[in-house]
Structure 1
Amino acid sequence: MEEYGFFLSFNGLEDLFRLPVNPETLEIKESGDSKSYTIVGLGEINAIAYPKLTEITIDSVFPAQHYPFVVVGKKGQNRLLRPFEYVLMIQKWMKSRRPIRFVLSGVSLKGEREDSSAPNDFALNMAASIESFSWKLSAGTSGDIEYSLSLKKYVFYQASPVKIVKGEAKTEPKRASDKTAPKTYTMKAGDNLWSIAKKILGDGQKYKVIQKLNGIKDSELKKLPIGKVLKLP
Protein backbone atom coordinates (compact mmCIF):
# COMPACT_ATOMS: atom_id res chain seq x y z
CA MET A 1 0.00 0.00 0.00
CA GLU A 2 1.36 3.39 -0.96
CA GLU A 3 1.57 6.36 1.37
CA TYR A 4 -1.68 8.20 1.91
CA GLY A 5 -2.63 11.39 3.67
CA PHE A 6 -5.52 13.17 5.36
CA PHE A 7 -5.84 16.93 4.91
CA LEU A 8 -8.11 19.57 6.44
CA SER A 9 -8.42 23.07 5.00
CA PHE A 10 -10.52 26.18 5.56
CA ASN A 11 -11.61 29.19 3.52
CA GLY A 12 -10.07 28.23 0.18
CA LEU A 13 -6.77 26.94 1.66
CA GLU A 14 -6.30 29.99 3.88
CA ASP A 15 -5.68 27.45 6.65
CA LEU A 16 -4.40 24.00 5.75
CA PHE A 17 -2.75 21.12 7.54
CA ARG A 18 -2.15 17.43 7.07
CA LEU A 19 -3.10 15.16 9.94
CA PRO A 20 0.29 14.41 11.51
CA VAL A 21 -0.68 10.84 12.41
CA ASN A 22 -2.86 8.81 10.06
CA PRO A 23 -5.80 7.26 11.94
CA GLU A 24 -5.75 3.48 12.22
CA THR A 25 -9.29 3.36 10.83
CA LEU A 26 -11.57 5.85 9.09
CA GLU A 27 -15.27 5.39 9.79
CA ILE A 28 -17.46 6.53 6.89
CA LYS A 29 -21.21 6.30 7.44
CA GLU A 30 -23.57 6.22 4.46
CA SER A 31 -27.24 5.81 5.30
CA GLY A 32 -30.63 6.20 3.66
CA ASP A 33 -33.70 8.08 4.83
CA SER A 34 -36.40 5.62 3.80
CA LYS A 35 -39.77 5.63 5.56
CA SER A 36 -42.23 2.80 6.12
CA TYR A 37 -46.00 3.09 5.67
CA THR A 38 -48.84 0.66 6.24
CA ILE A 39 -51.27 0.36 3.34
CA VAL A 40 -54.70 -1.20 3.83
CA GLY A 41 -54.88 -4.49 1.99
CA LEU A 42 -51.16 -4.44 1.22
CA GLY A 43 -49.37 -4.17 4.52
CA GLU A 44 -46.10 -2.37 5.18
CA ILE A 45 -44.27 -0.72 2.31
CA ASN A 46 -40.93 1.08 2.21
CA ALA A 47 -40.60 4.45 0.44
CA ILE A 48 -36.99 4.97 -0.64
CA ALA A 49 -35.81 8.55 -0.18
CA TYR A 50 -32.61 10.42 -0.95
CA PRO A 51 -29.58 9.22 1.05
CA LYS A 52 -28.54 11.16 4.13
CA LEU A 53 -25.36 13.20 4.21
CA THR A 54 -22.12 11.25 4.54
CA GLU A 55 -20.66 11.22 8.05
CA ILE A 56 -16.97 10.68 8.84
CA THR A 57 -15.32 10.01 12.19
CA ILE A 58 -11.57 10.41 12.70
CA ASP A 59 -9.80 9.22 15.84
CA SER A 60 -6.09 9.96 16.08
CA VAL A 61 -3.48 11.98 17.97
CA PHE A 62 -1.72 15.33 17.68
CA PRO A 63 1.85 14.40 18.70
CA ALA A 64 4.16 16.67 20.66
CA GLN A 65 7.28 15.31 18.94
CA HIS A 66 8.46 13.51 15.80
CA TYR A 67 7.69 9.87 16.44
CA PRO A 68 8.52 7.31 13.68
CA PHE A 69 4.82 7.15 12.75
CA VAL A 70 4.44 10.94 12.24
CA VAL A 71 3.84 11.63 8.53
CA VAL A 72 4.55 15.38 8.31
CA GLY A 73 7.90 17.05 7.89
CA LYS A 74 10.00 19.29 10.10
CA LYS A 75 10.13 22.34 7.82
CA GLY A 76 7.96 24.24 5.39
CA GLN A 77 4.18 24.42 5.22
CA ASN A 78 3.79 20.70 5.86
CA ARG A 79 5.54 20.86 9.22
CA LEU A 80 4.53 19.44 12.56
CA LEU A 81 2.63 21.99 14.64
CA ARG A 82 2.38 22.00 18.41
CA PRO A 83 -0.62 19.93 19.60
CA PHE A 84 -2.54 22.95 20.87
CA GLU A 85 -2.07 24.76 17.55
CA TYR A 86 -4.15 22.08 15.84
CA VAL A 87 -6.79 22.32 18.57
CA LEU A 88 -7.03 26.11 18.37
CA MET A 89 -7.29 26.02 14.57
CA ILE A 90 -10.18 23.55 14.63
CA GLN A 91 -11.94 25.56 17.35
CA LYS A 92 -11.56 28.70 15.21
CA TRP A 93 -13.14 26.92 12.25
CA MET A 94 -16.08 25.78 14.36
CA LYS A 95 -16.71 29.32 15.60
CA SER A 96 -16.74 30.66 12.02
CA ARG A 97 -19.84 28.54 11.21
CA ARG A 98 -18.32 27.90 7.77
CA PRO A 99 -17.63 24.52 6.14
CA ILE A 100 -14.14 23.08 5.96
CA ARG A 101 -12.73 20.73 3.33
CA PHE A 102 -11.67 17.16 4.04
CA VAL A 103 -9.33 15.42 1.61
CA LEU A 104 -8.09 11.83 1.65
CA SER A 105 -5.62 11.07 -1.13
CA GLY A 106 -3.00 8.62 -2.27
CA VAL A 107 -4.50 5.31 -1.21
CA SER A 108 -3.37 2.47 -3.48
CA LEU A 109 -4.88 -1.01 -3.25
CA LYS A 110 -2.71 -2.49 -5.99
CA GLY A 111 -1.97 -6.14 -5.44
CA GLU A 112 -4.67 -6.55 -2.82
CA ARG A 113 -7.48 -7.45 -5.23
CA GLU A 114 -7.66 -10.45 -7.49
CA ASP A 115 -9.70 -8.49 -10.02
CA SER A 116 -7.10 -6.40 -11.87
CA SER A 117 -9.85 -4.41 -13.58
CA ALA A 118 -10.94 -2.91 -10.24
CA PRO A 119 -9.75 0.65 -9.53
CA ASN A 120 -6.46 0.73 -7.62
CA ASP A 121 -6.78 4.18 -6.11
CA PHE A 122 -9.28 5.81 -3.81
CA ALA A 123 -9.59 9.51 -3.04
CA LEU A 124 -12.15 11.59 -1.20
CA ASN A 125 -12.57 15.36 -1.40
CA MET A 126 -15.61 16.93 0.23
CA ALA A 127 -16.80 20.05 1.98
CA ALA A 128 -17.90 19.25 5.53
CA SER A 129 -19.26 20.73 8.72
CA ILE A 130 -17.57 19.94 12.03
CA GLU A 131 -20.24 18.20 14.07
CA SER A 132 -18.13 17.45 17.14
CA PHE A 133 -14.54 17.71 18.32
CA SER A 134 -13.32 16.16 21.57
CA TRP A 135 -9.75 15.97 22.78
CA LYS A 136 -7.72 15.05 25.84
CA LEU A 137 -4.16 15.17 27.10
CA SER A 138 -2.72 11.69 27.47
CA ALA A 139 -0.90 11.06 30.75
CA GLY A 140 2.75 10.14 30.32
CA THR A 141 2.95 11.01 26.61
CA SER A 142 4.92 14.26 26.79
CA GLY A 143 2.03 16.50 25.77
CA ASP A 144 0.38 14.42 23.04
CA ILE A 145 -3.32 15.17 22.49
CA GLU A 146 -5.75 12.39 21.58
CA TYR A 147 -8.80 13.57 19.66
CA SER A 148 -11.99 12.50 17.95
CA LEU A 149 -13.34 14.58 15.06
CA SER A 150 -16.79 14.04 13.53
CA LEU A 151 -17.58 15.55 10.14
CA LYS A 152 -20.74 15.66 8.02
CA LYS A 153 -20.83 16.33 4.30
CA TYR A 154 -21.83 19.91 3.50
CA VAL A 155 -23.95 20.72 0.44
CA PHE A 156 -23.75 24.33 -0.76
CA TYR A 157 -27.10 25.90 -1.36
CA GLN A 158 -28.28 29.37 -2.37
CA ALA A 159 -31.01 31.08 -4.32
CA SER A 160 -30.33 31.12 -8.07
CA PRO A 161 -31.55 33.84 -10.44
CA VAL A 162 -34.27 32.70 -12.86
CA LYS A 163 -34.55 33.88 -16.44
CA ILE A 164 -37.57 33.35 -18.71
CA VAL A 165 -36.40 32.20 -22.15
CA LYS A 166 -39.15 31.60 -24.71
CA GLY A 167 -41.67 31.00 -21.97
CA GLU A 168 -39.40 28.55 -20.13
CA ALA A 169 -37.87 29.28 -16.74
CA LYS A 170 -34.12 28.63 -16.59
CA THR A 171 -31.77 28.99 -13.66
CA GLU A 172 -28.13 30.03 -13.85
CA PRO A 173 -26.05 27.50 -11.89
CA LYS A 174 -23.41 28.93 -9.59
CA ARG A 175 -20.16 27.24 -8.72
CA ALA A 176 -20.05 26.15 -5.09
CA SER A 177 -17.21 27.55 -3.01
CA ASP A 178 -16.12 27.09 0.58
CA LYS A 179 -14.24 30.41 0.51
CA THR A 180 -15.64 33.31 2.52
CA ALA A 181 -16.92 36.16 0.35
CA PRO A 182 -14.73 39.30 0.42
CA LYS A 183 -15.90 42.32 2.45
CA THR A 184 -14.32 44.97 0.21
CA TYR A 185 -13.31 45.36 -3.42
CA THR A 186 -10.68 47.66 -4.94
CA MET A 187 -11.69 49.07 -8.32
CA LYS A 188 -9.52 48.31 -11.34
CA ALA A 189 -9.37 49.67 -14.88
CA GLY A 190 -12.59 48.88 -16.76
CA ASP A 191 -14.62 48.23 -13.61
CA ASN A 192 -18.08 49.62 -12.95
CA LEU A 193 -20.60 48.80 -10.24
CA TRP A 194 -22.61 46.49 -12.52
CA SER A 195 -19.57 44.37 -13.49
CA ILE A 196 -18.43 44.23 -9.86
CA ALA A 197 -21.88 43.10 -8.68
CA LYS A 198 -21.92 40.46 -11.43
CA LYS A 199 -18.45 39.15 -10.54
CA ILE A 200 -18.67 39.26 -6.74
CA LEU A 201 -22.39 38.87 -6.00
CA GLY A 202 -23.37 36.84 -9.06
CA ASP A 203 -25.99 39.36 -10.24
CA GLY A 204 -25.22 42.65 -11.99
CA GLN A 205 -28.59 44.07 -10.92
CA LYS A 206 -27.30 44.15 -7.34
CA TYR A 207 -25.07 47.12 -8.20
CA LYS A 208 -27.66 49.34 -6.51
CA VAL A 209 -26.99 47.58 -3.21
CA ILE A 210 -23.27 48.40 -3.52
CA GLN A 211 -24.13 51.95 -4.58
CA LYS A 212 -26.35 52.53 -1.54
CA LEU A 213 -23.90 50.85 0.88
CA ASN A 214 -21.08 53.17 -0.26
CA GLY A 215 -23.21 56.33 -0.51
CA ILE A 216 -22.49 56.81 -4.22
CA LYS A 217 -24.69 59.28 -6.08
CA ASP A 218 -26.12 58.50 -9.53
CA SER A 219 -24.04 61.34 -10.98
CA GLU A 220 -20.85 59.67 -9.68
CA LEU A 221 -21.45 56.22 -11.21
CA LYS A 222 -19.40 56.94 -14.36
CA LYS A 223 -16.64 58.81 -12.50
CA LEU A 224 -15.51 56.25 -9.92
CA PRO A 225 -11.69 56.30 -9.75
CA ILE A 226 -9.38 53.31 -10.11
CA GLY A 227 -8.21 52.23 -6.64
CA LYS A 228 -11.43 53.20 -4.87
CA VAL A 229 -12.21 50.67 -2.13
CA LEU A 230 -15.86 49.62 -2.06
CA LYS A 231 -17.63 48.00 0.84
CA LEU A 232 -19.55 44.84 -0.14
CA PRO A 233 -22.77 43.51 1.39
Structure 2
Amino acid sequence: MEEYGFFLSFNELEDLFRLPVNPETLEIKESGDSKSYTIVDLGEINAIAYPKLTEITLESIFPAQHYPFVLVRSEGPNRLLRPFEYVEMIQKWMKSRRPIRFVLSGVSLKGEREDSSVPNDLALNMAMSIESFTWKLSAGTSGDVEYSLSLKKYVFYQASPVKIVKGQVKAEPKRASDKAAPKTYTMKAGDSLWSIAKKVLGDGQKYKVIQKLNGIKDSELKKLPIGKVLKLP
Protein backbone atom coordinates (compact mmCIF):
# COMPACT_ATOMS: atom_id res chain seq x y z
CA MET A 1 0.00 0.00 0.00
CA GLU A 2 1.27 3.51 -0.74
CA GLU A 3 0.24 7.03 0.20
CA TYR A 4 1.80 10.46 -0.14
CA GLY A 5 3.59 12.21 2.68
CA PHE A 6 4.94 15.72 3.22
CA PHE A 7 8.34 16.00 4.88
CA LEU A 8 10.35 18.99 6.16
CA SER A 9 14.03 18.68 7.02
CA PHE A 10 16.83 20.99 8.07
CA ASN A 11 20.64 20.90 7.88
CA GLU A 12 21.01 17.64 5.90
CA LEU A 13 18.43 15.73 7.98
CA GLU A 14 19.69 16.97 11.35
CA ASP A 15 16.02 17.77 11.97
CA LEU A 16 13.30 15.91 10.09
CA PHE A 17 9.61 15.38 10.52
CA ARG A 18 6.64 14.31 8.48
CA LEU A 19 3.56 16.52 8.56
CA PRO A 20 1.26 14.52 10.83
CA VAL A 21 -1.83 15.58 8.87
CA ASN A 22 -1.61 16.06 5.10
CA PRO A 23 -2.87 19.44 3.83
CA GLU A 24 -6.20 19.27 2.03
CA THR A 25 -4.61 21.16 -0.87
CA LEU A 26 -1.08 21.96 -1.95
CA GLU A 27 -0.80 25.34 -3.66
CA ILE A 28 2.21 25.64 -5.97
CA LYS A 29 2.77 28.99 -7.68
CA GLU A 30 4.89 29.14 -10.84
CA SER A 31 5.09 32.53 -12.54
CA GLY A 32 7.22 34.39 -15.04
CA ASP A 33 8.80 37.82 -14.86
CA SER A 34 8.05 39.04 -18.37
CA LYS A 35 7.88 42.76 -19.11
CA SER A 36 5.92 44.64 -21.76
CA TYR A 37 7.31 47.48 -23.87
CA THR A 38 5.74 49.73 -26.50
CA ILE A 39 7.73 50.02 -29.72
CA VAL A 40 7.13 52.81 -32.25
CA ASP A 41 5.35 51.48 -35.38
CA LEU A 42 5.08 48.05 -33.79
CA GLY A 43 3.00 48.43 -30.65
CA GLU A 44 3.28 46.46 -27.45
CA ILE A 45 5.76 43.59 -27.21
CA ASN A 46 6.38 41.13 -24.42
CA ALA A 47 9.98 40.33 -23.36
CA ILE A 48 10.06 36.87 -21.83
CA ALA A 49 12.35 36.65 -18.79
CA TYR A 50 13.46 33.87 -16.50
CA PRO A 51 10.69 32.34 -14.36
CA LYS A 52 10.32 33.49 -10.77
CA LEU A 53 11.10 31.18 -7.87
CA THR A 54 8.51 28.51 -7.13
CA GLU A 55 6.26 29.28 -4.16
CA ILE A 56 4.43 26.67 -2.08
CA THR A 57 1.70 27.22 0.51
CA LEU A 58 0.64 24.57 3.04
CA GLU A 59 -2.24 24.74 5.50
CA SER A 60 -3.02 22.01 8.01
CA ILE A 61 -2.90 21.26 11.76
CA PHE A 62 -0.45 19.97 14.31
CA PRO A 63 -2.77 17.70 16.32
CA ALA A 64 -2.65 17.46 20.10
CA GLN A 65 -3.78 13.82 20.07
CA HIS A 66 -3.58 10.80 17.81
CA TYR A 67 -6.74 11.14 15.71
CA PRO A 68 -7.59 8.37 13.19
CA PHE A 69 -6.45 10.63 10.33
CA VAL A 70 -2.99 11.32 11.81
CA LEU A 71 -0.29 9.77 9.60
CA VAL A 72 2.54 9.21 12.09
CA ARG A 73 2.80 6.79 14.96
CA SER A 74 1.80 7.63 18.53
CA GLU A 75 5.16 6.51 19.97
CA GLY A 76 8.65 5.44 18.98
CA PRO A 77 11.42 7.43 17.18
CA ASN A 78 8.96 8.72 14.57
CA ARG A 79 6.28 9.51 17.11
CA LEU A 80 3.74 12.29 16.95
CA LEU A 81 5.25 15.41 18.56
CA ARG A 82 3.38 17.87 20.72
CA PRO A 83 1.97 20.78 18.66
CA PHE A 84 4.37 23.32 20.16
CA GLU A 85 7.36 21.09 19.40
CA TYR A 86 6.57 21.46 15.68
CA VAL A 87 6.06 25.21 16.12
CA GLU A 88 9.35 25.68 18.01
CA MET A 89 11.28 23.64 15.43
CA ILE A 90 10.01 25.76 12.53
CA GLN A 91 10.75 28.95 14.49
CA LYS A 92 14.30 27.68 15.12
CA TRP A 93 14.77 27.05 11.40
CA MET A 94 13.58 30.55 10.56
CA LYS A 95 16.01 32.11 13.05
CA SER A 96 18.91 30.18 11.49
CA ARG A 97 18.39 32.07 8.19
CA ARG A 98 19.19 28.86 6.32
CA PRO A 99 17.04 26.96 3.81
CA ILE A 100 15.05 23.88 4.68
CA ARG A 101 14.16 20.99 2.38
CA PHE A 102 10.59 20.27 1.35
CA VAL A 103 9.83 16.74 0.14
CA LEU A 104 6.57 15.39 -1.26
CA SER A 105 7.00 11.66 -1.50
CA GLY A 106 5.24 8.37 -1.98
CA VAL A 107 5.45 6.33 1.22
CA SER A 108 5.30 2.53 1.35
CA LEU A 109 3.18 1.23 4.21
CA LYS A 110 3.79 -2.15 5.78
CA GLY A 111 1.55 -3.35 8.54
CA GLU A 112 0.84 -0.67 11.13
CA ARG A 113 2.39 2.20 9.10
CA GLU A 114 5.79 0.65 9.75
CA ASP A 115 7.60 2.91 7.29
CA SER A 116 5.26 5.89 7.35
CA SER A 117 8.04 8.34 8.23
CA VAL A 118 10.46 7.38 5.47
CA PRO A 119 10.26 8.90 1.95
CA ASN A 120 10.13 6.33 -0.85
CA ASP A 121 9.68 7.40 -4.49
CA LEU A 122 10.32 11.14 -4.55
CA ALA A 123 7.74 13.29 -6.28
CA LEU A 124 9.15 16.69 -5.26
CA ASN A 125 12.37 17.53 -3.42
CA MET A 126 13.31 21.19 -3.16
CA ALA A 127 15.47 23.47 -1.00
CA MET A 128 13.24 26.32 0.19
CA SER A 129 13.21 29.38 2.41
CA ILE A 130 10.44 29.90 4.96
CA GLU A 131 8.73 33.12 3.91
CA SER A 132 5.97 33.11 6.52
CA PHE A 133 4.63 30.90 9.28
CA THR A 134 1.34 31.69 11.01
CA TRP A 135 -0.32 29.52 13.62
CA LYS A 136 -3.15 29.69 16.11
CA LEU A 137 -4.97 27.74 18.79
CA SER A 138 -8.66 27.35 18.07
CA ALA A 139 -11.33 26.96 20.74
CA GLY A 140 -12.77 23.48 21.07
CA THR A 141 -9.86 21.68 19.38
CA SER A 142 -8.20 20.23 22.52
CA GLY A 143 -4.94 22.06 21.90
CA ASP A 144 -4.58 21.47 18.15
CA VAL A 145 -2.52 24.12 16.35
CA GLU A 146 -3.75 25.34 12.98
CA TYR A 147 -0.98 26.69 10.76
CA SER A 148 -0.17 28.15 7.37
CA LEU A 149 3.35 27.79 5.96
CA SER A 150 4.61 29.72 2.92
CA LEU A 151 7.81 28.51 1.25
CA LYS A 152 9.87 29.82 -1.66
CA LYS A 153 12.39 27.87 -3.71
CA TYR A 154 15.97 28.53 -2.62
CA VAL A 155 18.79 28.62 -5.18
CA PHE A 156 22.27 28.03 -3.77
CA TYR A 157 24.81 30.57 -4.93
CA GLN A 158 28.46 31.26 -4.20
CA ALA A 159 31.60 32.56 -5.85
CA SER A 160 33.26 29.77 -7.84
CA PRO A 161 36.99 29.44 -8.55
CA VAL A 162 37.92 29.50 -12.23
CA LYS A 163 40.75 28.06 -14.30
CA ILE A 164 42.21 29.32 -17.57
CA VAL A 165 42.54 26.33 -19.91
CA LYS A 166 43.93 27.06 -23.38
CA GLY A 167 42.69 30.63 -23.24
CA GLN A 168 39.20 29.62 -22.05
CA VAL A 169 37.78 30.42 -18.63
CA LYS A 170 36.26 27.35 -16.97
CA ALA A 171 34.42 27.50 -13.66
CA GLU A 172 34.80 24.68 -11.17
CA PRO A 173 31.27 23.70 -10.14
CA LYS A 174 30.61 22.96 -6.49
CA ARG A 175 27.90 20.71 -5.15
CA ALA A 176 25.19 22.74 -3.46
CA SER A 177 24.47 21.77 0.13
CA ASP A 178 22.01 22.97 2.74
CA LYS A 179 24.23 21.68 5.54
CA ALA A 180 25.62 24.37 7.86
CA ALA A 181 29.37 24.92 7.70
CA PRO A 182 31.28 23.44 10.70
CA LYS A 183 32.40 25.86 13.42
CA THR A 184 35.38 23.82 14.64
CA TYR A 185 37.85 21.30 13.25
CA THR A 186 39.82 18.65 15.17
CA MET A 187 43.32 18.12 13.79
CA LYS A 188 44.26 14.67 12.50
CA ALA A 189 47.56 13.05 11.53
CA GLY A 190 49.04 14.75 8.47
CA ASP A 191 46.95 17.90 8.82
CA SER A 192 48.34 21.40 8.38
CA LEU A 193 46.55 24.73 8.51
CA TRP A 194 46.90 24.96 4.72
CA SER A 195 45.31 21.53 4.12
CA ILE A 196 42.52 22.29 6.61
CA ALA A 197 41.76 25.63 4.92
CA LYS A 198 41.72 23.85 1.54
CA LYS A 199 39.39 21.11 2.82
CA VAL A 200 36.99 23.21 4.90
CA LEU A 201 37.12 26.67 3.32
CA GLY A 202 37.93 25.66 -0.25
CA ASP A 203 41.12 27.73 -0.40
CA GLY A 204 44.44 26.77 1.22
CA GLN A 205 45.57 30.41 1.20
CA LYS A 206 42.96 31.11 3.87
CA TYR A 207 45.07 29.27 6.45
CA LYS A 208 46.17 32.66 7.78
CA VAL A 209 42.57 33.42 8.73
CA ILE A 210 42.44 30.22 10.82
CA GLN A 211 45.88 31.00 12.27
CA LYS A 212 44.83 34.49 13.38
CA LEU A 213 41.45 33.32 14.71
CA ASN A 214 43.16 30.73 16.94
CA GLY A 215 46.08 32.93 18.01
CA ILE A 216 48.70 30.59 16.54
CA LYS A 217 52.23 31.97 16.20
CA ASP A 218 54.30 31.37 13.05
CA SER A 219 56.76 29.34 15.13
CA GLU A 220 53.93 26.98 16.16
CA LEU A 221 52.66 26.17 12.65
CA LYS A 222 54.73 22.99 12.30
CA LYS A 223 54.18 21.83 15.88
CA LEU A 224 50.38 21.72 16.09
CA PRO A 225 49.33 18.57 17.98
CA ILE A 226 46.91 15.93 16.75
CA GLY A 227 43.54 16.44 18.47
CA LYS A 228 43.85 20.21 18.71
CA VAL A 229 40.44 21.81 18.18
CA LEU A 230 40.54 24.81 15.86
CA LYS A 231 37.88 27.49 15.60
CA LEU A 232 36.79 28.14 12.00
CA PRO A 233 35.60 31.44 10.50
One fold, TM greater than 0.5? yes
Give CA deviations for 1:134-179 in whole Å, capped at 9, x if unaligned: 1111211111111000000000111112222333222221111111
More deviation, 95-104/54-63: 95-104
Cα distance between partner residues in 2 of 1:156 and 1:69: 36
SS at match of 2:2: coil
Cα distance between partner residues in 1 of 2:214 and 2:118: 58
Cα deviation for residue 41 of structure 1 reads: 1.0
* Fraction of identical pairs, as percent: 91
What CA RMSD, in Å, does the superposition of the two structures yield over aligned residues?
A: 5.3
Q: Note if contact 2:78-2:117 (Cα within 8 Å) is conserved in structure 1.
A: no
Cα deviation for residue 118 of structure 1 reads: 25
Give CA deviations for 1:194-224 in whole Å, capped at 9, x if unaligned: 2211111111221121112112222322221
Q: Note if contact 1:109-1:121 (Cα within 8 Å) is conserved in structure 2.
A: no
Structure 2 vs 1, CA of residues 137 and 211 (structure 1 numbering), >3 Å: closer, same or farther? same
Give CA deviations for 1:23-81 in whole Å, capped at 9, x if unaligned: 11100111111111111111111111110000000000000001011000122331100
Cα distance between partner residues in 1 of 2:179 and 2:119: 32
More deviation, 63-72/90-99: 90-99
Cα distance between partner residues in 1 of 2:182 and 2:154: 21
TM-score (norm 2): 0.91
How many residues are matched? 233
Q: Note if contact 2:106-2:119 (Cα within 8 Å) is conserved in structure 1.
A: no
| 1:118 aligns to 2:133 (yes or no) | no
Unaligned runs of 5+ in 1: none
Cα deviation for residue 121 of structure 1 reads: 6.8
More deviation, 110-119/92-101: 110-119
Cα distance between partner residues in 1 of 2:202 and 2:218: 22
SS at match of 2:206: helix
Structure 2 vs 1, CA of residues 106 and 162 (structure 1 numbering), >3 Å: closer, same or farther? same
TM-score (norm 1): 0.91
Unaligned runs of 5+ in 2: none
